[in-house]
A and B are shown apart, each in its own frame.
Chain A
């Protein structure tokens, strides 16, 4: 119940507050989050909006896909963040299991719905692109299937963390699920290289020149950066609300006990 003590007296730093545990103090987190959240949101919306505008109205159409290529400016950032979001979910889960960090529990719970939302956007936009380009909304190739599994992992995490009467047991079960699911991330990334898939391989790689015209590449990168800030802003806002909710619950419980 260390957390409850923290929540009631947020200014008292825990003994030996070094490294990660400096941020275990929810009061400190709330102050920090309140200060950066407006900036993160504003930067995210600004970058994503200009990237989307550039992609939809200024960037050239593809010679084969025509204007359908513009779905990419939503699909690819959503796909990147679906995977990156899962990685952050797994990191929070590892911190929660190993260091028993109270903020990490809440972070994992709050990351999952945001990640699920981005994964849904990725799946829906991809399917809308697939019908006119491939000739099918959906095929069971390794890339599409592994991203669908990612979506189900997010949904499973959301359900599992809320399935127990004691929140601590829910956090524990969710963290284990999230860490087991990490095995899916390299499968998503390398599915298009390891096996024949209908989905195209990556255009932007560390090893070679991007196989995308620069006039299309820049708006994509801009949108992806903006979407990352929006992802962070959503998680920060949800996490702040969760910390405050927990604090209010602790105060109400203390009052009920005193009465």
Chain B
């Protein structure tokens, strides 16, 4: 075995060892590596009063605005399709907040099962589309943004747009 072949073999063996060690570590810590928990996991992952991040979609028709002591306040329901949690928040919402949008809220569960948030972040999804495409999808009945994620990309990413299309 030539010396450079031996060095290559050592390098590959070290890489294999390091790779498996990293994979095992990440797998062991998988519960701590998530940025937020979903409504389905909330009951098992957090006790009442414990600060946790809750993430999911803002349920359609669930947003109610109010004003408490001159501060904007809002109540909405966060859902992951299987279960949902009522969230209340006092403060300014990010621009992207809307029904059907993903959000990540920091707060804690109250004993009655609702969630009191001290911070609401909007989560943008991986779709990028101009206004005209959204209007076309709404008009044709293929997508109501309030109800959840958009239809498969192949059905809209090539739609002809008349105004300002690139």
Question: Does A pair with B?
Answer: yes
Task: List residues of A whose CB falls within 8 A of some B CB.
Answer: 54, 58-65, 69, 72, 94, 97-100, 132-136, 139-142, 179-180, 182-183, 187, 194-198, 200-203, 208-219
A218 vs B125: C-alpha distance when bound (angstroms): 20
Of the candidates B7, B35, B131, B165, the one having the most CB atoms from chain A within 10 angstroms of its own CB is: B35
| Interface contact B153-A180, CB-CB below 8 Å | no
In the complex, chain B residues 143-166 whose Cβ is within 8 Å of any chain A Cβ: 150, 152-154, 156-159, 161, 164-166
Contact (A62, B153) CB under 8 Å given A135-B94, A215-B166: no
| Interface contact A183-B19, CB-CB below 8 Å | yes
Chain B residues with a Cβ closer than 8 Å to the other chain, count: 52
| Interface contact A213-B35, CB-CB below 8 Å | no
Nearest CB in chain A: distance from B42 CB, A: 12
| Interface contact A60-B153, CB-CB below 8 Å | no
| Interface contact B4-A135, CB-CB below 8 Å | no
Closest partner residue, chain B, to A217 (CB atom): B157
Q: Is the interface of A mostly helix, strand, loop or mixed?
A: loop
On chain B, the residues within 8 Å of A196 by CB distance are 34-38, 55
| Interface contact A135-B22, CB-CB below 8 Å | no
| Interface contact B33-A195, CB-CB below 8 Å | yes
B8 at the interface (CB under 8 A from A): yes
| Interface contact A139-B125, CB-CB below 8 Å | no
Query: Could you write out 13 A-B pairs with CB less than 8 Å apart?
Result: A62-B129, A63-B130, A65-B96, A72-B128, A139-B35, A180-B18, A198-B121, A200-B125, A203-B126, A208-B153, A213-B159, A214-B166, A215-B161
| Interface contact B127-A134, CB-CB below 8 Å | no
Task: List residues of B whose CB falls within 8 A of some A CB.
Answer: 4, 7-8, 11, 14-15, 18-19, 22, 26, 30, 33-38, 55, 93-96, 98, 104, 119-134, 150, 152-154, 156-159, 161, 164-166
Closest partner residue, chain B, to A184 (CB atom): B22
| Interface contact B157-A134, CB-CB below 8 Å | no
On chain B, the residues within 8 Å of A54 by CB distance are 166
| Interface contact B153-A209, CB-CB below 8 Å | yes
Nearest CB in chain B: distance from A75 CB, A: 12
User: How many residue pairs bridge A and B at CB < 8 Å?
Assistant: 146
- CB contact between A214 and one of B19, B37, B126, B158 (< 8 Å): that residue: B158
| Interface contact A134-B19, CB-CB below 8 Å | no
On chain B, the residues within 8 Å of A197 by CB distance are 35
On chain B, the residues within 8 Å of A218 by CB distance are 166
Contact (A209, B152) CB under 8 Å given A60-B132, A214-B157: yes
| Interface contact B166-A58, CB-CB below 8 Å | yes
A217 vs B18: C-alpha distance when bound (angstroms): 37
| Interface contact A179-B122, CB-CB below 8 Å | no
- CB contact between B8 and one of A98, A195, A200, A209 (< 8 Å): that residue: A98
- CB contact between B130 and one of A135, A183, A215 (< 8 Å): that residue: A215
| Interface contact B153-A139, CB-CB below 8 Å | no
- CB contact between A198 and one of B18, B123, B134 (< 8 Å): that residue: B123
Nearest CB in chain A: distance from B87 CB, A: 15
On chain B, the residues within 8 Å of A72 by CB distance are 128
| Interface contact B22-A132, CB-CB below 8 Å | no
On chain B, the residues within 8 Å of A210 by CB distance are 153, 157
Nearest CB in chain A: distance from B128 CB, A: 4
A155 vs B78: C-alpha distance when bound (angstroms): 41
Known A-B contacts: A133-B124, A179-B11. Give 11 more (CB < 8 A).
A60-B161, A64-B124, A72-B128, A94-B11, A99-B4, A180-B18, A203-B126, A210-B157, A211-B150, A211-B153, A215-B161
- CB contact between A61 and one of B119, B131, B154 (< 8 Å): that residue: B131
